[in-house]
Structure 1
Amino acid sequence: MIQQNPAFASQNWRLRDQMTDTPEPVILDWLFNEDSLTRRLSRLSNNGFSVMPLHEGWQTLRPDECTALELPEGSEGWVREVYLRGNGETWVFARSVAARSALELDGLHMDKLGTRSLGELLFSDKAFIRGPLQVSRYPAASLPADSAQDGLWARRSCFTRSGLSILVAEVFLPTLWHAIELAAPFVAEPR
């Protein structure tokens, strides 16, 4: 489990037109592509995609998460942290959160996902509406120790269905950029 980090209190999640630091085009494409990240990673890995759960359970949500979910600071929610992997390599750290009260009313069982991708569930249920993508540099102290590195690009968006909102943050690890670079001559992304 990743501990609370005071860096999140001042973390600046930005929309594309608010960015002050512009990454190279390939990174920009992955940050703002609205297709399912699960599907993109599956294509990149030639169907060698997998999910490795790290932690899930009830805990106090971070201040920036409470703000994004329009909850009072200190609200409790379900937190799911996983690695998204391609061909056995860790490519993305993902943290998904939802308010306890909303989950209990909705009946979605995030605790039953196991190694199933939450993205697969969200994109297969047409009732979920995805909010705008926001990006930021993710604090190293809030990543698992084996992936902790300053300045990694992350994105997040909120998926809503009726009264339920699920905030999904995805941190792109250097191994993903390396895999994209190696696959560039061989992988054509459908548009």
Structure 2
Amino acid sequence: MPHAALAHPPRWLTAAQLHPAPATGIRDWLFDQGSLTRRLTALSDNAFSVAPLEEGWQSLRADECCALGIPAGSQGWVREVFLRGHGETWVFARSVAARQALEGSGLDLHQLGSRSLGELLFSDRAFERGAIEVTRYPAPLLPPDVRGERLWGRRSCFSRGDLKVLVAEIFLPALWRQAGIETV
């Protein structure tokens, strides 16, 4: 999967670069500065869960290395999860951090299990959130069971000293249905 995806990396854009802008409801979710975990928990009436898919040390993608300010091909911790409401998969999330910065940072990502990384980042006041960027996420980068064309995704970098955690969230059709948002 990673090799096919490298031919078409995501093209991340700021709100100012995004043209045409998505519908208001979608834009509201994409550029919301608050915790996505809290928003999904509210939407699901507390029936929110995190389903870990994969985590471990990997070579990071070129667009991730660029966002983290590290050399292309650098190693990092990768965590991929599904964020679910009422057992339905609403969001695919991929979080990455450079190995060198993560080791010795005191942040133990492999201990998270089914807990939300977003909630951890938002509860630690030392982390500062960078600008939100959005893209139409390339289908080959998604897990096969949620693969879809032109799904909206967003990412932002959370920084604490030298440590940067890049969090990407791809919104799946089931979320838009639950939120009552037209995507056409």
Partner of 1:6: 6
- Report the Cα offset of residue 153 of structure 1: 0.2
Aligned residues: 180
Partner of 2:18: 19
Partner of 1:187: none
Partner of 1:43: 42
Residue-by-residue CA offset, 1:8-49 (whole Å, 9 max, x unaligned): 54x310100100232111000000000000000000000000
How far apart in 2 are the matches of 1:41 and 1:7?
A: 33
Partner of 1:53: 52
- Report the Cα offset of residue 7 of structure 1: 4.1
Amino acid across the alignment from 2:30: L
Q: RMSD between aligned alpha carbons?
A: 1.1
Partner of 1:185: none
Q: Which runs of 5+ in 1 are unaligned?
A: 183-191
**Fraction of identical pairs, as percent:** 59
Partner of 1:139: 138
Aligned to 2:16, the other structure's residue is in SS state helix
How far apart in 1 are the matches of 2:17 and 2:138?
A: 19
Pick closer, same or farther for the CA change 1:123–1:181 going to 2, 3 Å.
same
Matches within 5 A, 1:14-163: 14-163=13-162
Q: Which runs of 5+ in 2 are unaligned?
A: none
User: Which TM-score applies when normalising by structure 2?
Assistant: 0.95
Partner of 2:180: 181
Amino acid across the alignment from 1:153: W
CA contact (8 A) 1:136 1:154 kept: yes
User: Which TM-score applies when normalising by structure 1?
Assistant: 0.92
Aligned to 2:12, the other structure's residue is in SS state coil
TM superposition outliers: structure 1 runs of 4+ over 6 Å: none
- Report the Cα offset of residue 105 of structure 1: 2.4
Pick closer, same or farther for the CA change 1:165–1:8 going to 2, 3 Å.
farther
